[in-house]
Structure 1
Amino acid sequence: MRFPARGRARTERGDRSRFSTRDLVSEATAGVLQRPARSALTALGTVLGVSTFVAVLGLTATTSSQIDSRFNALTATEVTVEDTGGDQPDLLPNAFPADADRRIGALNGVRAAGVYWPVRLGPEDTVAAVPPGTGAAGERTQVVAASPGVLDAAGPALAQGRTFDAYHDDRGENVAVIGSGLAARLGITTLDTAPAVFVGDHAFTVIGVVADVERKADLLLSVVVPRTAAERIWGGPESGERARMLVSTELGAARQIASQAALALDPAHPEHFKVVPPPDPRSLRGTVTSDLDELFLLLAGICLVIGAVGIANTTLVAVLERTGEIGLRRALGARGRHITFQFLAESGALGALGGLIGTSLGTVTVVAMSVVRDWTPVIHPTTVVAAPAIGLATGVIAGLYPAWRASRIPPAEALRR
């Protein structure tokens, strides 16, 4: 026999009833479409949760790819050489030879190399754009003594002027290169008037303003002067502030340069130098992205929980509103499991619908962000496949209690309401 509309079930062989898949789908669809506004709001939580899930995983994969490419191109082409001075560093304040730039530059695969160290200033020495004694307050800023190769290895983007070269270094010229931020604080806006910065009582003509660097970003906050001028005025590197060398290499040559640098600098005493090869970019990527992964996945989980609570609440309200309908179906032969399956199908349909929409929104978010940032979007296929399934699972789990509650309603009591 057949039940009336909104409850087709069939009885066969006496009192055995059967609720076909076709009946289940049609009844669940009718239940969802009966109140479309409520269904849309119910699915909204799942949409937000699933879209956040897809966007988080997609953006994480995309940014990880960008981190890999950038650090492969920059970090993997940088070698640092530290002056340790061997067993008696106090007797050898500077182990780097005078022609250290030339020795390392002669190695195959080296783009630029230079020696540098921070200058130890006096307690009263400040950096200012006017001579001392004028009453103007200066500021405590790091002064770096560097060979010409340091600025070349750092990859500067000049806002004005130029960097100093071997001519300035050989003659010990009092010239300086400063960052654009420091230039703005000192009031230096143009180099046409040959402005100077005063480090204590010593004047240095500013010949270049650097807007950005690829490596060693602290140079942007420093006054960089030729090492020969620094040695003449303040002396060489002191104990605890030993010199270092920055080496820029061709892509793929850094490991080889790292193995040769100490011998090239001093074949008789390579132990005077500690060579630091480029780090593994994968470990850096993992450190950068792991915390963001946990944070945003927690946010996605919270959205899914909110969506599940919304589906459970709406399904439970629907059970209460349709008590009479449930009682009629039970009286006509529908079993408790048929009622359970119907409400589970409705809540699962809402979850699956939210999962599909959320997957689409998350994918669009990843693509849009990649286009804005000029990145290549990366979304793993497993993420796109799993996201709608997560929405479906959320809907089914949320509907377990309301469906069980509906199946436990006694037919006689339901018909009396």
Structure 2
Amino acid sequence: MSLDELLRPRPEPGRNNRIIPSRQHPRDLFSEALAGMLQRPARSVLTALGTVLGVGTFVAILGLTATATGQIDDRFNALTATEVTIEDTGGTDPPNQPLMFTPDADQRVQTLNGVEHAGVHWTVRLPTGTTVRSAPIGPDANGQHIPVIAASPGLLDAAGPHWATGRGYDTFHDTRAEAVAVIGQGMADRLGITTLDTTPAILIGDTPFTVIGILTDTDHKPDLLLSVLIPRTTAERIYGPPDPGQRAKMLVTTKIGAARQIAGEVPYALRPDTPEAFKPIPPPDPRTLRDHVTDDLGALFLLLAGICLIIGAVGIANTTLIAVMERTAEIGLRRALGARGRHIAGQFLTESATLGTLGGLIGTSLATVTVVATAAVKQWTPIIEPATVAAAPLIGLTTGLLAGLYPAWRAARIEPVEALKR
């Protein structure tokens, strides 16, 4: 209630004068709300901090999700979208046709436009009890049976190898069926092989194989790091063709955008007479896969952001309610001077809405800086939706209003007489 209204002359008794209800101008409303917030600045700051954390987390999570999704999309394009697997189905008589890949399968596929590398591989069928060890006498590494993979030279190129030392076997080794092997760094550590300067060898059963390369990582087929790789011709010479129950496969790496076309052409390049003997498995559509990942991440992180906003709203509601209880005498005095219930409710709603809006603005700023800084550290491209940044202060305002509804309603119901008794 303004000072002019308090000093206005009251109607004389006996006259039929209409009682003018008290009014509250917007200027008075905001000045009262500002005075209430500045009366206890530390509490106001802590109250706004809940919204800062809630809105800031909301914006940061959405920004980091969009940024991470962009990186996932790039990874899909670079790796998953360039990998094609060709399975040997055995044609019309699989048990009697153990291997449909011809000796020149790598060269046939690599002549296709868009193919970068291609290689055949299968798991060698070892005799029962065969182990891999690095000494003529003694158990294998940790007493485990290590898988042995027969692979053409093209498979090592298609896998995208990263060498710790040495190199992979080539067409010379494959043509002569040389007893050479390639192993992963972890496998080399388990077998006690630390250098190739001494020309180390491993024994698969009783057959020695010279280790000519040690892998640290691969871009495709990381399971190769846990196996021993030997030339396919060597495996056929010593252990025979692959088991009909565990068919051979071919890994084909392509240029970006060519994978699906290559998947349809490879069977005809391998065996024009029986292309149905091969089952091509193209990579999944990167856009569909990206959308699924985006939806899953978005739903999860949006739920977390919503929880943060609820926590911030509860903090505002709790602090505003305590303020109402502490200012009961002030509210009663204002009611006694003519303030109406909606005036009291409007004041507390304005306070909570103002704190929510300020928290939203500060939280948005901090979240934007967080997203940009994280992307800079990871060397990513930061992605923040403008709609998210624009809506964040409105979310803070809405959070403050919703949080202040119950305390404002409680304040509006305080009776002047009961309040002044306290």
Deviation (angstroms), 1:336: 1.2
Deviation (angstroms), 1:206: 0.7
The match for 1:116 is: 121
- Residue pair 1:72, 1:281 contacting (<8 A) in 2 also: yes
The match for 2:32 is: 27
- Aligned in 2, Cα 1:339/1:186: closer, same or farther, shift over 3 Å? same
The match for 1:278 is: 283
Q: Which amino acid aligns with 2:381?
A: T
- Aligned in 2, Cα 1:33/1:180: closer, same or farther, shift over 3 Å? same
Instruction: For 1:416 and 1:363, locate their aligned partners in 2 and report how far apart those are by CA, in whole Å.
Output: 50
Deviation (angstroms), 1:231: 0.5
1:54 matched to 2:68: no
Q: Which amino acid aligns with 2:234?
A: A
Instruction: For 1:335 and 1:299, locate their aligned partners in 2 and report how far apart those are by CA, in whole Å.
Output: 40
Equivalence map 1:95-134=2 (5 Å): 95-131=100-136, 133-134=137-138
Deviation (angstroms), 1:9: 12
Match of 2:260 among 251, 255, 260: 255
Structure 2 SS opposite 1:17: coil
- Residue pair 2:97, 2:244 contacting (<8 A) in 1 also: no
- Aligned in 2, Cα 1:289/1:127: closer, same or farther, shift over 3 Å? farther
Match of 2:218 among 202, 213, 218: 213
1:401 matched to 2:403: no
1:123-182 deviation per Cα after TM superposition (whole angstroms, max 9, x unaligned)? 311111111x34666531111100000010111111101111000000000111111111
Q: Which amino acid aligns with 2:2?
A: R
Equivalence map 1:300-379=2 (5 Å): 300-379=305-384
Deviation (angstroms), 1:396: 0.8
Q: Which amino acid aligns with 2:21?
A: R
The match for 2:85 is: 80
Q: Which amino acid aligns with 1:272?
A: A
Instruction: For 1:30 and 1:140, locate their aligned partners in 2 and report how far apart those are by CA, in whole Å.
Output: 77
- Residue pair 2:131, 2:140 contacting (<8 A) in 1 also: no
Structure 2 SS opposite 1:123: coil
Equivalence map 1:146-157=2 (5 Å): 146-157=151-162
Structure 1 SS opposite 2:22: strand
TM-score, normalised with respect to structure 2: 0.93
Structure 2 SS opposite 1:16: coil
- Residue pair 1:157, 1:210 contacting (<8 A) in 2 also: yes
The match for 1:2 is: 2
- Aligned in 2, Cα 1:101/1:9: closer, same or farther, shift over 3 Å? farther
The match for 1:245 is: 250
Instruction: For 1:341 and 1:136, locate their aligned partners in 2 and report how far apart those are by CA, in whole Å.
Output: 80
Match of 1:231 among 221, 231, 236: 236
Instruction: For 2:88 and 2:9, locate their aligned partners in 1 and report how far apart those are by CA, in whole Å.
Output: 91
The match for 2:301 is: 296
- Residue pair 2:81, 2:283 contacting (<8 A) in 1 also: yes
The match for 1:169 is: 174
- Residue pair 2:336, 2:416 contacting (<8 A) in 1 also: yes
Instruction: For 1:49 and 1:10, locate their aligned partners in 2 and report how far apart those are by CA, in whole Å.
Output: 47
Deviation (angstroms), 1:329: 2.0
The match for 2:14 is: none
TM-score, normalised with respect to structure 1: 0.94
Q: Which amino acid aligns with 2:405?
A: L
Number of residue pairs matched by the alignment? 414
Any gaps of 5 or more consecutive residues in structure 1? none
- Aligned in 2, Cα 1:88/1:10: closer, same or farther, shift over 3 Å? farther
Q: Which amino acid aligns with 2:315?
A: G
- Aligned in 2, Cα 1:284/1:141: closer, same or farther, shift over 3 Å? farther
RMSD: 2.2
- Aligned in 2, Cα 1:8/1:47: closer, same or farther, shift over 3 Å? farther
1:91-127 deviation per Cα after TM superposition (whole angstroms, max 9, x unaligned)? 2111111110111011111111111101122231111
- Aligned in 2, Cα 1:15/1:330: closer, same or farther, shift over 3 Å? farther
Instruction: For 2:44 and 2:404, locate their aligned partners in 1 and report how far apart those are by CA, in whole Å.
Output: 14
- Aligned in 2, Cα 1:103/1:194: closer, same or farther, shift over 3 Å? same
Any gaps of 5 or more consecutive residues in structure 2? 11-17
Structure 1 SS opposite 2:70: helix
Structure 2 SS opposite 1:157: strand
- Residue pair 1:163, 1:208 contacting (<8 A) in 2 also: yes
